[in-house]
C-alpha cells in the first residue's frame, strides 16, 4: 500500500510540540507500530525536471514532453514505474505552470508491506486512524457523511445468493460528463500507484484507496433491464472480463447480472462480483448515466472465485480480507461527492436501490485492563488504554461488572476491524499503538525440571562428533530425488504401490520424491568434490522417507557418507576407513556392531545394496543380529552410473538402533593384568575368501586373552588361491607369569583347533 | 561354390570356435569379427558386389539370402557382445575381494590426506548453539515428523482451510494428501498434546515450502521454533528470553526491537529485529558504503514471535484461562547466511566441502 504523506497529513494532521512530524520519524514509528515500511519513495527535485515541459497535443490535451518534444513517461520523469504511457495533465492546468508544482512532487510516498489480517490498512483512512492514535491528532474523514437519496424508480436489486451478499447498494447518477480528471486527482491517483484513466474511474479508484472500499461503476445503459441481479455462475458459463479475457466460470463464482436471476436464463453477467467487471459494461467516453455498485461480499466466496480464475485485482485483494458492511454508505457518499466535483455541473443522483436484510450484530469484548497490562508487561493507566482503544474506533464502556479480577470494561468493536475479536486482540492493539519498546523485559520464574534429551538430536550430535574425529566433513544434502535418479541408482520404481513418498505439486521433476536413500545425493556430492581434490570423506545426518506396508510414511534417522581415496583404492583404503569409523561409532555409543561379509539379501531401499561391489561390501548388525547398516565400495556399474572415475567407499546406516543406549552405556572396567602377557605368532595358510574373523573365532586355548591378524601375504611361497595370515596371540595367566614352554604348549593347542580343517595349513613358530 | 554359402561357412567356423574365452579381450575379438563380416569392406558387403552381375530374377533371391545372412550374423554378434559384457563385469566383481574383517594395518590400506579433524556444517554449529542456549534455560528439544497431516500443520495452529492465512505458506502436498511441514510449529502442537504445562521446548528441523528456488529462497530449509507455556506468561518474558538469545547469537550489546506482525497462531504477533551486528545499526560501513548485511536498514528481521493464540492452546486441550505462553521461530539458513556473509543459500546444501572447510 502506497501512502503519500501529503494525503496522510490531510486526514491526520500529526504534530509534535515543534510542528508536523518529520517524514523520517513518521516512517520509523509507523514501521514499528503499524506495519513494515518497505520503501520510502522520494520524487526528483525541481532542478531534475529542467529538461521537461508541458505541451499541448493535437487533440488539445496536455502532456509532459522532453527536450526533443517526445512525450515523457513516469519512468522517464523518475516519478513512477510506468514506462509506456505518456504523463498527461488535467485540463485545469496552465501550460506555463511549473511542472514540479503541477505534478505535486513536493511529497514523499511510504510504501507499506501489509499483513492479510488488517483490511483496514489497505486504505489511507486506516493508515491515518493508526497515525492519529499514535500521535493523538484528530482524524478528518473525507466527505463521507451519509447522504439520503430517494428510492430509484427504474433500478432494483435482486439477490439470489443471499449468504454471499450481505449488503448491496446501487446508486443511479445522471448528467455525468466523462473526461480527463483535474490535476489534483490525477496526481493523487498516480502517487497511489495507479494510472489516471478518466474522471469517473479515477474518482472510484481514489475512494478505494481512501476508504478501502472498492466500488464498481456501470454504464447505466448496460443494465438494460434496470434489475441488478446477484447469483452464482453455472459451471461452464462464459464471460469476457474487462481485461479482454474470456473466462470459463464455475459454480464457485458470484456474478452480478443484468436481469432478475430467477427469470429466464438468469440474466446477463456484467461483473464477477468483487473482482472485475465484464468487457463493455464499464464507463465509455459517451457515458452520461452511471450505476454505482457498493457492496459487501462474502470474503471466502471472493477468494475462492479469485483463486479459481487466477484473477487477482485491487478489488478482490480487499474483498477477500473482509470489508465492513457499514463501510458501504460512506463510500457511496464520498464517490457521489467526488463525481459532483469532477464530472461537470449536471451530475445528479436519480435514486438508490439497496439489499441489506440484516445489519451485523454488535461485537463486544469484555476487557480486563489489569490482565491487559500484565500480559503486555507495560505500565499503562486506564485512561491511556481507553484513549488508544477509542482512537482505534472501539466504543469503550468502563462500567463496573463483577468479576474475579475486578472491573471489566465493555468494549464494542468497530466494523472496520475484523481482526479485533478477542481479549488478546485488544492487548495487541493497545500494545502496538503504545509502542512495544515499552515492554519490560523480565526473564520468567519457573520451576526447575530435568531436561530430557531427544535422541534424534543429542544422539546425532555424538554421531557427528565421532565422524568428524575420523576426518570426515559434514554436508547437508537434498531431501528429494527424481524419477531418473530412482532408475539410475536402482531404487524402488515409481508406481501406485511403490513405497515412495511422492509430491503432488513438485517444483520440478528433479524434486519429485522424498529420498528413499541418501545415495543419489551423496554420489552427486562426491562427483562435485572430486573436482576439488582426490581424497576426501563426507557424511550427512538426516532422514530417509519410505511408506510402510500400511501406506503410512516412515521417516528413518539416517547416516550416510562416502570416502574417496584413489591411491589406496585397490587395497581398500577407503573401505577400511569407513569400516573402522562405523565400528568405532557403534562401540562408543554402546551398540557394538558385528560384520557380516557381503550384502545380506533383502536389504531395505535406503541401503542402496544394488550399487555396491558384492565382493567389497559388508553388512553391519547389532549383537542381536538386527540390521544397522551397510558399507562397501561402489560397483563398477554404479561408478559409471554416478559419472565417477574412481570407486568411493560409501555407507548407509539406520541410526535408530545406534540411539538405543545413549545414556545407558556403562562398559565394565577391566583391570590391567597383574602379570605381563606373552605374545606368540602363528601362520595359517587359508583359501582366499576365508574371512579372518572366521579363523580367529575358532582359536581356543587356556589363558588366550587376545587374538588378531598381524599380517597377510599372498604370492611367493603361498599356493594360488590362498593367503597366509600371521596371527598374533596373547596369553596371560591371572596368578603368575607363563614360561616359554607353557606358551609354546598353548600355541600348539591353538594350532590343534585348526588342524581338523583340511582347507587350512598351520605353521607353528620355530 | 555358392559365394553366400562360403561366407556362411566361414562365419559358422568362427562362431563355433568358442569366441568367448578371456574376459580381458573378448570384446576386442568380437569387434574384429564384426569388421570382418559386417564392415564396409567386409565379406557380406563383398557379396553385394556380386549382385550387380546377376539377372533381375536371380538378384531378388540372391539379395534375400544375403540379407538373411546379414541378420543372422548381426543377431549372433549382439548376443555374444552382451554375454561378453556380462562376463567382463563378473570378472571385475570377482577380482579384488576385500576381507572386511581384516585389521586396516594388516590390509596395508591406509588413507592418507583426510583432515585430522573433519569440519562441522555451519547449520549444525548454529543448531548446537541453539540447543546449548535453550537447554541451559530449561527447554527440552523436541522432534516430530517432517511429513505431517494438515491438522497438525495448519488447523491446530489456527489456520483454517480456505482462510487467506493459508496462502502465506506455499505448501507442498504429497500424492496422498500429507503436508511436508511448512514450519516446525507442528512439533509444538504434538508436544502440547503429549504433555501438560508447564512446557518449555524448542523444535529444530527441516521444513518445506513450494517456493521457486533462488539465492535467498529454498524449497527445503532448516528452522527452529520455541514454545513456553506456563501460568502468567507475559510479553516481557518473551522479550527477555529472546534478548538473551540475540545477545548470545550476535553479541551482548546488540539492541532488539519488536514490530507488529501477523501469524495466526500468536496474538499479539510480532517480528523481532536485531540491530545489525555488522554495521552496528547505522546501515553504513566506515567507508560510507551501504552495509551488505542489513542493506542499509540498520536492523535485521530475525525472529517472528508472539503470545500463543488461545485457539491454539484450546486445540491442544490446554485451558487458555489458566495457561498462557509465547512462541518464536527462526530460519537457520538465513541466520547462517548473515553470520558468514554467504551470498547464496543454495551453497549450504550443495554438498561442497570447500564451504564447510572454510567456515
Coil, strand or helix: which one is A744? helix
Q: Which residues contact B36 (CB under 8 A, 6 or more apart)?
A: B42, B43
Q: Which residues contact B34 (CB under 8 A, 6 or more apart)?
A: B77
CA distances from A205 to A124, A197, A212, A734 (A): 12, 10, 10, 99
Please give the pLDDT value at position A674. 92
For the purposes of burial, counting CB atoms within 10 Å of the CB of A710, is it exposed (0-12), middle (13-18) or buried (19 or more)?
middle
User: Nearest to residue A97, comparing CAs of A59, A131, A67, A52?
Assistant: A52
Which positions in chain A touch B112 (Cβ < 8 Å)? Answer: 535, 565, 567-568
Q: Fold for domain A156-355?
A: Phenylalanyl-tRNA Synthetase; Chain B, domain 3 (3.50.40)
pLDDT of residue B25 exceeding 80: no
The answer to whether B212 faces chain A, any CB pair under 8 Å, is yes
Nearest to B102 among A375, A540, A709 (CB): A709
Q: What is the residue-wise DSSP string for A580-643?
A: HHHHHHHHHTT---EEEES--TT--GGG-GGGEEEEEEEEEE-TT--EEEEEEEEPHHHHHHTT
How would DSSP label each residue in A114-163?
--TT-GGGSSHHHHHHHHHHHHT------S------PBPSS-EEEES-GG
The answer to whether the beta carbons of residues B333 and B123 sit under 8 Å apart is: yes
Task: Report H helices in A377-482.
Answer: 382-391, 423-434, 455-469
Give the H/E segment covering residue A728: strand A722-731
Distance CA A581, CA A568 (A): 17
What average pLDDT does the segment B33-60 reach? 82
Tell me the C-alpha distance between A327 and A504, whole Å. 42
Q: Is the pLDDT of residue B24 over 60?
A: yes
The strand pair at B199-208 and B140-141 is best described as parallel
* H or E segment to which residue A101 belongs: helix A99-102
In chain A, CATH 3.30.56.10 covers 1-43+108-140, 364-437
Contact assignment for B172 to A555 by CB distance below 8 Å: no
A351 contacts: CB under 8 Å, gap ≥ 6: A149, A150, A151, A152, A153, A154, A155, A171, A172
The DSSP code sequence of B51-111 is HTTS-HHHHHHHHHHHHHHHHHHHHHHHHHHHHHHHHHHHHHHHSS---TTS-HHHHT---
Whether the Cβ atoms of residue B141 and residue B202 lie closer than 8 Å to each other:
yes
Residue B314 annotated in active site: no
Closest CA to A220 of A269, A171, A157, A180: A171
Helix (H) or strand (E) holding A766: none
Q: At CA A544, angle to CA A538 and CA A545, rounded to 5?
A: 160
Number of H helices, E strands in chain B: 13, 9
Model confidence at B59: pLDDT above 90:
no
> How many angstroms separate the CA of residue B359 from the nearest CA in chain A?
12
Nearest CA to A681 out of B106, B109, B108 is that of B106
Can you tell me the mean pLDDT for B207-214?
90
Task: Indicate the class that CATH gives domain A678-763.
Answer: alpha beta
- Quick one: cell of A167? 449488503
**What CATH class is the domain A1-43+108-140?**
alpha beta
Secondary structure of residue A390 in the 3-state scheme: helix
Report H helices in chain B. Answer: 3-16, 26-38, 43-51, 56-94, 104-107, 122-136, 150-153, 164-167, 185-194, 235-250, 310-315, 332-340, 353-358
Produce one character per residue of B177-201: b if its CB has 16 or more CB atoms within 10 Å, e if not: ebbbbbbbbbbbbbbbeeeebbbbb
What is the pLDDT, as a whole number, of residue A129? 96
User: What integer pLDDT is reported at residue A406 of this predicted model?
Assistant: 58
Chosen for mutation from B23, B93, B101 (greatest number of chain A CBs closer than 10 Å) is B101
Q: Which helix (H) or strand (E) holds A565?
A: none
List beta partners, residue A271.
A256, A277
Q: Output the nine-digit C-alpha cell for B179.
A: 503436508
B258 touches chain A (CB under 8 A): yes
C-alpha torsion sign, points B334, B335, B338, B341: negative
Which DSSP category does B26 fall into?
Answer: H
Instruction: Give the model's pLDDT for residue B1.
Output: 66
- pTM: predicted TM-score of the whole model, two decimal places: 0.86
Predicted local distance difference test score (pLDDT) of residue A109: 96
Contact assignment for B198 to A374 by CB distance below 8 Å: no
pLDDT of residue B81: 85
Contact B141 A453 (CB under 8 A): yes
Sign (positive or negative) of CA dihedral A54, A57, A61, A63: negative
pLDDT of A641 reads: 94
Is A432 close to B268, i.e. CB distance below 8 A? yes
Which residues does chain A have with pLDDT short of 50? 403-405
Parts of chain A belonging to CATH 3.30.930.10: 455-659
Cβ contact B133:B248 at 8 Å: yes
Which alpha helices (H) appear in B279-346, and where do they start and end?
310-315, 332-340
How many other C-beta atoms can be found within 10 angstroms of the C-beta atom of residue B63? Answer: 14
Looking at residue B48, its pLDDT comes to 79
CA dist A505 and A501 (Å) reads 12
What digits encode the pLDDT tens for the residues B145-169?
Answer: 999 999 999 999 999 887 766 766 6
Element of type H or E holding A54: strand A53-56
Interchain contact B170–A (C-beta under 8 A): no
Taking only the tens place, the pLDDT of each residue in B62-88 is: 888 888 888 888 888 888 888 887 877
CB A630 within 8 A of CB A604: no
Domain with CATH 3.50.40.10 in chain A: 156-355
List alpha helices for A438-549, DSSP H. 455-469, 483-488, 519-530
CA distance A464 to A539: 8
- Give the H/E segment covering residue A231: strand A227-232
Alpha carbons A371 and A312: distance in angstroms, whole number: 41
Q: With CA atoms as reference, report the closest residue to A169 among A329, A391, A376, A395.
A: A329
Q: Which option is the CATH number for A364-437: 3.30.56.10, 1.10.10.10, 3.90.1170.50, 3.30.200.20?
A: 3.30.56.10
B6 is catalytic: no
| Crossing angle of the two packed helices B332-340 and B122-136, in degrees rounded to 10 | 110
| ipTM of model | 0.88
Which residues in chain B are closer than 8 Å to A473, comparing Cβ atoms? 115, 118-119, 353, 356-357
DSSP state of A48: G
**All 3 cell numbers of residue A618?**
559388508
- Exactly one of B166, B181, B183, B200 is catalytic; which is it? B183
Nearest to B121 among A449, A475, A579 (CB): A475
Which residues of chain B make contact with A418, given a CB cutoff of 8 A?
none
Measured CA to CA, the distance from residue B298 to residue A454 in angstroms comes to 38
Angle of CA points A81, A85, A91, to nearest 5°: 110
Residues whose CB is less than 8 angstroms from the CB of residue A753 and which lie 6 or more positions away in sequence, other chains included: A698, A699, A700, A701
- Neighbouring CB atoms inside 10 A of A101's CB total 10
CA distance B103 to B93: 22
* Cβ atoms A334, A143 nearer than 8 A: yes
Q: What is the pLDDT of residue A578?
A: 98
Contacts of A464 in chain B (CB under 8 A): 120, 124
Q: Chain-centre distance of CA B131, in angstroms?
A: 23
Cα within 13 Å of Cα(A560), Cβ side: 27
B209 catalytic residue (yes or no):
yes
Cβ neighbours of B229 (radius 10 Å): 26
Q: How is domain A455-659 classified at the CATH fold level?
A: BirA Bifunctional Protein; domain 2 (3.30.930)
Q: Identify all chain B residues contacting A537, using CB atoms and an 8 Å cutoff.
A: 111, 114, 118
Residue of B87, B98, B313 to mutate, testing the A interface (most A Cβ within 10 Å of its Cβ): B98
Q: C-alpha cell of B353? A: 566441502
For an interface test with A, the pick among B114, B177, B179, B271 (most A C-beta atoms closer than 10 Å) comes out as B114
Is B259 among the residues known to form the active site? Answer: no
Looking at the DSSP bridge assignments, the partners of residue A629 are: A620, A653
Rounded to 5°, angle at Cα A301 from A297 and A302: 70
Amino acid at each position: 500500500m502506497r501512502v503519500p504523506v501529503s494525503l496522510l497529513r490531510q486526514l491526520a494532521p500529526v504534530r509534535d510540540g515543534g510542528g508536523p512530524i518529520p517524514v523520517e520519524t513518521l516512517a520509523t514509528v509507523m514501521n514499528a507500530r503499524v506495519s513494515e515500511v518497505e520503501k520510502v519513495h522520494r520524487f526528483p527535485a525541481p532542478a531534475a525536471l529542467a529538461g521537461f515541459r508541458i505541451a499541448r497535443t493535437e487533440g488539445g490535451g496536455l502532456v509532459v514532453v522532453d527536450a526533443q518534444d517526445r512525450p515523457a513517461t513516469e519512468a522517464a520523469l523518475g516519478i513512477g514505474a510506468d514506462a509506456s504511457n505518456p504523463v498527461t495533465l488535467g485540463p485545469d492546468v496552465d501550460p506555463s505552470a511549473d511542472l514540479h508544482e503541477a505534478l505535486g512532487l513536493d511529497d514523499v510516498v511510504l510504501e507499506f508491506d501489509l499483513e492479510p489480517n488488517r483490511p483496514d490498512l489497505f486504505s489511507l483512512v486506516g493508515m491515518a486512524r493508526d497515525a492519529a492514535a499514535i500521535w493523538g491528532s484528530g482524524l478528518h474523514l473525507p466527505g463521507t457523511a451519509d447522504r439520503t437519496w430517494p428510492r430509484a424508480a427504474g433500478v432494483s436489486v435482486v439477490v439470489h445468493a443471499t449468504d454471499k451478499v450481505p449488503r448491496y447498494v446501487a446508486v443511479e447518477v445522471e448528467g455525468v460528463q466523462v473526461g480527463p480528471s483535474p490535476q489534483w486527482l490525477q496526481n493523487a491517483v498516480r502517487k497511489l500507484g495507479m494510472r489516471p484513466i478518466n474522471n469517473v474511474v479515477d474518482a472510484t479508484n481514489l475512494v478505494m484507496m481512501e476508504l478501502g472500499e472498492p466500488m464498481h461503476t456501470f454504464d447505466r445503459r448496460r443494465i438494460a433491464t434496470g434489475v441488478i441481479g446477484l447469483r452464482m455462475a453455472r459451471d461452464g458459463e462464459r464471460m469476457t472480463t474487462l481485461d479482454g479475457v474470456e473466462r470459463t466460470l464455475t459454480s464457485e463464482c458470484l456474478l452480478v447480472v443484468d436481469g432478475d436471476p430467477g427469470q429466464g436464463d438468469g440474466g446477463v453477467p456484467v461483473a464477477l462480483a468483487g473482482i472485475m467487471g465484464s468487457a463493455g459494461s464499464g464507463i465509455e467516453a459517451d457515458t452520461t448515466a452511471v450505476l454505482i455498485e457498493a457492496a459487501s461480499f462474502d470474503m471466502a466466496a471472493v477468494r475462492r472465485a479469485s483463486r479459481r480464475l487466477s484473477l487477482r485485482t485491487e478489488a478482490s485483494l480487499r474483498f477477500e480480507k473482509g470489508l465492513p458492511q457499514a463501510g458501504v454508505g460512506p463510500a457511496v457518499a464520498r464517490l457521489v461527492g467526488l463525481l459532483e466535483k469532477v464530472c461537470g455541473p449536471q451530475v445528479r443522483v436519480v435514486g438508490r436501490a439497496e439489499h441489506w436484510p440484516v445489519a451485523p450484530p454488535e461485537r463486544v469484548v469484555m476487557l480486563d485492563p489489569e490482565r491487559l497490562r500484565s500480559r503486555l508487561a507495560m505500565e499503562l493507566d486506564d485512561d491511556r488504554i481507553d484513549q488508544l482503544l477509542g482512537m482505534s474506533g472501539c466504543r469503550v464502556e468502563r462500567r463496573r461488572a463483577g468479576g474475579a479480577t475486578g472491573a471489566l470494561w465493555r468494549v464494542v468493536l468497530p466494523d472496520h476491524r475484523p481482526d479485533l475479536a478477542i481479549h488478546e486482540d485488544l492487548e495487541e492493539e493497545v500494545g502496538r499503538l503504545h509502542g512495544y519498546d515499552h515492554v519490560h523485559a523480565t526473564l520468567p520464574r519457573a520451576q526447575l525440571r530435568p531436561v530430557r534429551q531427544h535422541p534424534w538430536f543429542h544422539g546425532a550430535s555424538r554421531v557427528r562428533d565421532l565422524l568428524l574425529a575420523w576426518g570426515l566433513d559434514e554436508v547437508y544434502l537434498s531431501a528429494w530425488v527424481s524419477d531418473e535418479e530412482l532408475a539410475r541408482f536402482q531404487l524402488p520404481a515409481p508406481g501406485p504401490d511403490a513405497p515412495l513418498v511422492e509430491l503432488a505439486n513438485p517444483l520440478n521433476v528433479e524434486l519429485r520424491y522424498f529420498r528413499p536413500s541418501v545415495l543419489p545425493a551423496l554420489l552427486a556430492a562426491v562427483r562435485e568434490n572430486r573436482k576439488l581434490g582426490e581424497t576426501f570423506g563426507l557424511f550427512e545426518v538426516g532422514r530417509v522417507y519410505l511408506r510402510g506396508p500400511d501406506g503410512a510414511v516412515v521417516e528413518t534417522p539416517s547416516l550416510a557418507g562416502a570416502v574417496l581415496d584413489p591411491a589406496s583404492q585397490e587395497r581398500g583404503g577407503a573401505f577400511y576407513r569407513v569400516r573402522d569409523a562405523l565400528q568405532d561409532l557403534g562401540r562408543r555409543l554402546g551398540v557394538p556392531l558385528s560384520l557380516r561379509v557381503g550384502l545380506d539379501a533383502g536389504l531395505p531401499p535406503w541401503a542402496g545394496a544394488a550399487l555396491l561391489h558384492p565382493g567389497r561390501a559388508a553388512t553391519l548388525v547389532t549383537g542381536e543380529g538386527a540390521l544397522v547398516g551397510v558399507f562397501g565400495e561402489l560397483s563398477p556399474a554404479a561408478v559409471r552410473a554416478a559419472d565417477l572415475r574412481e570407486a568411493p567407499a560409501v555407507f548407509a546406516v539406520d541410526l535408530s538402533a545406534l540411539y538405543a543406549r545413549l545414556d545407558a552405556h556403562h562398559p565394565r572396567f577391566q583391570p590391567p593384568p597383574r602379570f605381563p602377557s606373552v605374545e606368540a605368532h602363528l601362520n595359517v595358510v587359508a583359501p582366499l575368501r576365508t574371512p579372518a574373523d572366521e579363523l580367529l573365532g575358532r582359536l581356543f586355548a587356556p589363558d588366550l586373552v587376545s587374538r588378531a591378524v598381524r599380517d597377510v601375504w599372498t604370492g611367493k611361497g603361498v599356493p594360488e588361491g590362498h593367503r597366509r595370515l600371521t596371527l598374533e596371540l596373547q596369553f596371560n595367566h591371572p596368578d603368575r607369569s607363563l614360561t616359554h614352554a607353557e606358551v609354546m604348549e598353548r600355541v600348539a593347542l591353538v594350532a590343534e583347533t585348526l588342524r581338523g580343517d583340511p582347507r587350512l595349513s598351520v605353521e607353528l613358530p620355530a | 561354390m555358392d559365394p553366400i554359402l562360403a561366407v556362411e561357412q566361414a562365419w559358422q567356423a568362427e562362431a563355433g570356435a568358442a569366441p568367448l574365452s578371456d574376459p580381458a579381450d573378448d570384446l576386442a575379438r568380437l569387434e574384429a569379427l564384426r569388421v570382418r563380416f559386417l564392415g564396409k569392406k567386409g565379406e557380406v558387403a563383398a557379396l553385394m558386389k556380386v549382385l550387380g552381375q546377376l539377372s533381375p530374377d536371380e538378384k531378388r533371391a540372391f539379395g534375400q539370402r544375403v540379407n538373411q545372412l546379414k541378420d543372422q550374423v548381426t543377431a549372433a554378434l549382439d548376443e555374444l557382445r552382451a554375454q561378453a559384457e556380462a562376463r567382463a563385469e563378473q570378472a571385475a566383481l570377482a577380482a579384488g575381494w576385500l576381507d572386511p574383517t581384516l585389521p586396516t594395518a594388516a590390509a596395508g590400506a591406509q588413507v592418507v590426506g583426510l583432515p585430522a579433524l573433519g569440519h562441522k556444517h555451519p547449520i549444525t554449529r548454529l543448531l548446537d548453539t541453539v540447543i546449548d542456549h535453550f537447554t541451559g534455560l530449561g527447554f527440552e528439544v523436541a522432534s516430530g515428523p517432517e511429513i505431517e497431516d494438515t491438522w497438525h500443520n495448519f488447523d491446530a495452529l489456527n489456520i483454517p482451510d480456505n482462510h487467506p492465512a493459508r496462502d502465506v505458506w506455499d505448501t507442498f502436498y504429497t500424492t496422498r494428501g500429507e503436508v511436508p511441514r511448512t514450519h516446525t510449529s507442528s512439533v509444538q502442537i504434538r508436544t502440547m498434546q503429549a504433555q501438560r504445562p508447564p512446557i518449555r521446548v524448542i523444535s529444530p528441523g527441516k521444513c518445506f515450502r513450494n517456493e521457486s528456488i533462488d539465492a535467498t529462497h529454498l524449497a527445503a530449509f532448516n528452522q527452529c521454533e520455541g514454545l513456553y507455556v506456563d501460568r502468567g506468561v507475559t510479553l516481557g518474558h518473551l522479550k527477555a528470553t529472546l534478548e538473551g538469545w540475540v545477545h548470545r547469537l550476535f553479541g551482548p550489546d546488540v539492541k532488539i526491537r519488536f514490530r507488529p506482525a501477523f501469524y495466526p497462531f500468536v496474538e499479539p504477533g510480532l517480528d523481532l529485529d536485531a540491530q545489525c551486528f555488522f554495521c552496528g545499526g547505522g546501515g553504513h560501513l566506515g567507508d560510507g558504503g551501504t552495509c551488505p548485511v542489513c542493506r542499509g536498514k540498520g536492523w535485521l528481521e530475525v525472529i517472528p514471535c508472539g503470545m500463543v493464540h488461545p485457539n491454539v492452546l484450546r486445540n491442544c486441550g490446554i485451558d487458555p484461562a489458566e495457561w498462557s505462553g509465547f512462541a518464536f521461530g527462526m530460519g537457520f539458513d538465513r541466520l547462517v547466511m548473515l553470520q558468514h556473509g554467504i551470498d547464496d543459500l543454495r551453497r549450504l546444501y550443495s554438498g561442497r566441502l570447500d564451504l564447510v572447510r572454510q567456515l
